[in-house]
Each structure stands twice: as structure tokens, then as C-alpha cells.
Amino acid sequence: MRKDLLASIGLLLIAAAYYAATMTIQESTLGQDEPIGPTGLPTILAALLAVIAVIIGARALLAAPARGKSSDDDKEAEAPWPRALGILVLGSFYIPLAYVLGYPLALVLLITGICLYEGLRPDWRVFAVAIGGAAIFWLIFDVILGVRQPEGLLF
Amino acid sequence: MEQLEQALTMIFTTPLVPAAFAGLTWGILGSSLPGMSASITMALLLPFTYALPPMPAIVMLASCYIGAEYGGSIPAILIRTPGTNSAAATILDGYEMNRQGRGGEALGISLWSGVIGGLWGLAMLVLLTEPLSRVALLFKPTTYCCLGVLGLSLIASLTSKSLLKGLAAAVLGLMVATIGTDPVSGVSRFTFGSPDLLEGITPIFVMVGFFAVSELMMRSGVKPLTLKPNVSIRVRLPKLPMMKKIARAQAIGSSIGTVEGLMPGIGGILASFLAYNEARRWSKEPEKFGHGAEEGVAAPEAANNTTASTALVPLLSFGIPGSNSAAVLLGGLLIHGLLPGPRLFEQNGDVVLGLYTGSFVANLGQILVGMLILPVSVWLVNRPKPYLSAFIFALIMSGIYTVHMSLFDLGIVLTAGLFGYFMRYFGFPILPAVLGVVLGGMVENNLRRSLQLSAGDLSIFLEDPVAMVFLVLAVLIVVAALLNEWRLSAKTRKASVA
């Protein structure tokens, strides 16, 4: 139930941030012709999410002593969150790399990085697969499909 | 008769057949990798369809869905790990058959039953969709608004153990849908000065992030099962006596799959387990179930392949996708400017006919592709997982870039992946959020249009009986789900005290 409590806090924060952003939306110039306006639904959604978050949190607090076994216990194997975030961070490096180095090189680095992060030892095979893989992707997208991929500042 | 002629002409004059075979091949290959559900396989294909004309794009996605249902049974039978959720029931007897050295026979039965179920489902799709969509011709803005609310509450209550989490997911999806230029007033909302956000968040980015990126995150570092390196299996299609033996199980599976597919949120997994149970109940040899019964493979496979087609009925008729895969297909329709409902049949009849014809081709083509592609699937399943993860990531980055040629979109996909991961981590269902993103515009625009027509008077909803029926149904669904949750938690409390 600790997870539900954390989720409840997270949802409340999202609701608050969303509401704060709603307050910055310009008023509609349609005036009387538009009863709800551009802020109408967002305000309702922020309130609704806040109410749901409070109920989830309250239920988590009330249910905590009654339940011994967490509902997560029977879940299949999954990565711990720091590890899961790691692969996302690694993937996000692709964006600046593609911007600077261009598609093929950024892709080689992305494939190599993920292979190493996922547990392969850094030997020539990993680099060969990364270079070969990037070449195949470049061939499929740029040459066969004719879809331009990012061109870097350097290459 | 005229439509049959048109369909035949389409086969020979349009790229429908290559699109169907390409989708089918990708569907089988993708979903034969454990953890790659049908929806993830389809979501990865989605950006590639962006550059295609609408008809082959939709055919490719639908064929991918069909292929994925068979592909999911390959690892279920060979390594006791379902490739897709709906293949979970196939493990019970399929893996047993494999242990007895009858893996090829189990794959053949799965393939054959998939074809039977798929063709039956397609017949139901053709028969039911257009008449149902005609009902939607009577809809006013108030009706569409309430239909969206009904769809969201239905999915929110059926796809999660907790109604509140389902509703929270739907609200989060609706929030994403409000990003961009407001279509009524032209005011920009939640764009924070970024011109890239003015057009809003394209639903496919959310789908790819929620389904594919979050799955890569979930599975990072988790060791997968592999086949023995010396395994060599060939698909063995059933001969006539076996076809007769499994026909009853296939009929049961197809019937259950029809009903379950029509009900949004139920999905193939429940259909396949129900079909398995019913096939055992009606079998002449129920004691063989769980010990390698052929009917135990035929019934769930027929059921989930039927569901793959009948789940498209509510999608094409009313625009309400009943499953993750149907939601991805809806994304495909929307990026090509195709709005489900009666107008789709009037204005884009060729696309609908192409979808039906392509699905027919894909269902039959499954036999050929399924047999030819098995060695490739087995090879793929045995690749080191790090390579697969890296190539899937590369595919996501390359595919998404093709949509708007913008690196900013990659950031949106990764952000959606982060949200999707945390939603799954905290036990929130993904489908209501996706549906919120897709239906958000429809709900808001019709709500505002209705209130503009009535000068802000909410009683306009009371004047529309169909809208009221939808709204009352939505309330009943929410109340029933709350009561059910309350009853379950009371039972759990009682059990823990005892």
C-alpha cells in the first residue's frame, strides 16, 4: 500500500501543476458565445484528479493494517526502478547525439550503449553488431524508404 | 456481389497483398518475442505506416494484429512463455505437447485454429459493423460527448482491479489531450511557448511511449527464457481426422471470442481462458486437458484470433477501441484523417473494404507465412536479449523521427515512456490513459459545441435520449465496479481476520 500512497502524492502534484498551468491560459475571445471556454475542461480534470488522488491515498492509509500481502507480490519479474530509468536516460542521450553527430553514428552509440547496459561484455562483437545494425537501419530508412533521418552538425 | 468484385480488383490493383503480408510477417516475428504484446508490435509498426496511403497502412496494421495472435503462441508452446497475454491459455496444453515431442503439431493446431477463428471473426466484423455504425448517424454532439464518457468509464472499470486507478489513468490521458491549440477558441494551452506543442501531442507518440518504451524499461536486466540451441521444429498442420477432432473446440473458441471481442475492455486473455474451460467441459476426453490435449490448444487460439477481428466492431462503429491493439489501430486511422463511425463507410468505403479484404488475405496468408517464418522466430527468440532491446530502441527512435522529422518528438515518446513506466509500476492501467488521449478531443469538442448550442444550459443533455442512456450506463458501470471492489475488499478483510 506504500506504492498507493506514493501514487496518490504523485497524482496530487500532477493535479496541482496542471491547475497552475490552467490558470495561465488566455481567456477566450469568444466571450458569451463560449460558456465553458478553454479553461473549463482542464479545471474540471484537475479537480477530478485531485479528488481521485485523495481517495486513493485515504484508502491506502485505511487498508494498510488489514492487508498482509502486497498485490504486487504475484507480479512477474520486472526491473527495479533505478535500472529501468537507466535505460531511458541512455536512450535520451540519442537526441543530442543525433543532433550533433548525425543518425548513423548516434545509432551506433545507442545500440552499443544499450547492449553494454543490458549486460553484454564490451568486445568486438558488440561493436560489430552495432555498426552493422546502424548500417541496416540507415539503409532501410535513408536509402530504401527515402525517409531522411537526423543530419548532425558534424557529419 | 459488386463489393466482392471490387475486393477482387483491389487484390490485383492495389498494394493490399504486400501490405497484408508485411504486416503479418512483422506481427508474427514481433510477438514471438516474449514480452512483446500485440499492441507493442503494432505500436512499433505505426510510425512506418505514416508515410503510406491510408488503405495499405490500415491493412498492414490489421494484418499485424492477426499475425501477432499466432506469433504469441510460438514462445507459449516452445518455452512456456506467452508472447502475448492472450496466448497464456495456450501454454497449458501447447507446452505439454511440446514436452511430449509434439511441438510442431501444437504449432500447426494453433495456426489452423487461428485461421478458422480469424475467418469467423472477420465474417462477424463484416456483418455487424456497418449496421451498428448506422445507429451512430442519429448521434448529436451531446450523444458523442456521452459516448466518450461511457467508453472511458467502461474501459477504466474493466481494465484495472481498481476503478479509481482506471479513472485516474483516463483523466491523465484527457489532460494530455488538452495540450496544444484549443480547436474552439484558438487559444494555446499547456504549450509553454513551444511551437512544437501547438498541434498537440500525436496519439501515436503516447502509444509507443506507453506500450513499447515502458516495456523496455520494465524488462531491463530481466533474464529471459531461451530455447535449447539444438531445437529444430517444423509446423505440422493437422490432417483431416485431427481437424474433425478439434472442430468442436474451435467452434466454442470462436463463439466465445465473438462475444468477448464485442465487449470493450474484456480482451483476448479472458476469451481464451473461458474457451479453454468450455472446451474441456464439452470434450469427450476432458481428463486429457493439461496433459497435451489438442483441443486445449485449438479452443484458446480460435478464441483469441476471433477476438482480434470482433474487437474492431466497436472501434469501427463508434470509435471506441476495446483493447490496446484496437487503440493502436485507432491511432493508425486517426493519423490518416479517418474517423470511425458511419462517415467512415460513406466517405472512405474503399479503406473499409480494403481492411476487410486485407484481413481475409492475412488470415489465409497466415498458414504460409506462419510455416515459413517459424525458423526465423526461433532464431530471434534465441538472440541475446541485450541485442533485441537495443534494436527495438533503435527502431523506436528511427520510426518516430519519420512522423514529423523532429527530434522533439523523440523527447515526447521518452517522456510518455517514463509516465507509462510509473503508471505500470504503481499499478495503473495503460489503456484508459491511451483512450483518454484519443477520445479527449471528441469529448471536449462535443461538450463545448452542445453548450454553445444551448447557451450554456446543461438540460440539452436531458433532451437527447441516447445521450442519457449512455450517461446512465456510465454511472451504472462505475457504481457496479465500486460495489464489486468494496465486496472484494470486505472478503479479503474477512479472510485475513480468519
Each residue's pLDDT tens digit, A59-109: 888 875 555 444 444 455 678 889 999 999 999 999 999 999 999 999 999
Specify if A70 maps to a domain: no
How far is Cα A81 from Cα A70, in angstroms, rounded to an integer? 18
How far is Cα B68 from Cα B52, in angstroms, rounded to an integer? 21
DSSP letters for A95-121: HHHHHHH-HHHHHHHHHHHHHHHTT--
Look at residue B24 in the predicted model and tell me its pLDDT. Answer: 93
Specify if A59 maps to a domain: yes
Span B264-290, average pLDDT:
81
Could you report the per-residue pLDDT of B135-147, keeping only the tens digit for each?
A: 777 788 898 888 8
Q: Which residue has the cell 527468440?
A: B381
Could you report the per-residue pLDDT of B341-399, keeping only the tens digit for each?
A: 777 887 888 888 889 999 999 999 998 998 888 888 877 777 788 998 899 899 889 88
Supply B455's cell numbers.
447557451
Same domain, A25 and A56: yes
Average pLDDT of every residue of chain B: 86
| Nearest residue in B to A94, CA atom | B397
Specify if A124 maps to a domain: yes
Specify if A41 maps to a domain: yes
- pLDDT-derived band at B267 (thresholds 50, 70, 90) equals low
B174 with B156: CB under 8 angstroms? Answer: no
Same domain, A99 and A54: no
- pLDDT-derived band at B264 (thresholds 50, 70, 90) equals low
Ramachandran category for residue B265: left, alpha or beta (phi over 0 → left; psi -120 to 50 → alpha): left
| Nearest residue in B to A35, CA atom | B456
Best A116, A118, A126 member to test B by mutation, with max B CBs in 10 Å, is A118
ipTM of the complex: 0.91
Specify if A108 maps to a domain: yes
How far is Cα B250 from Cα B349, in angstroms, rounded to an integer? 32
Could you report the per-residue pLDDT of A16-63, keeping only the tens digit for each?
A: 999 999 999 987 776 666 778 889 999 999 999 999 999 999 988 887
| Nearest residue in B to A28, CA atom | B185
Look at residue B1 in the predicted model and tell me its pLDDT. Answer: 67
Dmax over CA atoms of chain A, in Å, equals 69
Which helix or strand (DSSP H or E) is residue B425 part of?
helix B407-425
State percent of chain A over pLDDT 70.
88
The residues, any chain, with a CB within 8 Å of residue A118's CB and separated by 6 or more, are A87, B220, B221, B385, B386, B389, B390
Same domain, A55 and A105: no
Same domain, A59 and A85: no
* Chain B residues close to A59, C-beta within 8 Å: 164
Handedness of CA B115, B117, B118, B119 (dihedral sign): positive
Which is nearest to B57 in space by CA: B18, B115, B3? B18
Phi, psi for B187 (deg, rounded to 5): -80, 140
How far is Cα B58 from Cα B362, in angstroms, rounded to an integer? 12
Kindly give the residue spans of alpha helices, DSSP state H, lying in B201-266.
203-207, 214-218, 240-262
Span B126-152, average pLDDT:
84
State how far residue A86 is from chain B, nearest Cα, in angstroms. 8
Specify if A24 maps to a domain: yes
Specify if A100 maps to a domain: yes
Could you report the per-residue pLDDT of B12-54, keeping only the tens digit for each?
A: 778 889 999 999 999 998 888 776 778 888 888 888 888 788 8
Number of structural domains chain A divides into: 2
Structural domain for A40, as ranges: 2-63
Specify if A19 maps to a domain: yes
DSSP state of B136: G
DSSP letters for B298-352: HHHHHHHHHHHHHTHHHHHHHS---SHHHHHHHHHHHHTTPPPSHHHHHH-HHHH
Q: Is the pLDDT of residue A140 over 50?
A: yes
Look at residue A71 in the predicted model and tell me its pLDDT. Answer: 47
Q: Which residue has the cell 496542471?
A: A18
Same domain, A92 and A121: yes
Q: Mean pLDDT lowest for which of A128-132, B113-117, B209-213?
A: B209-213
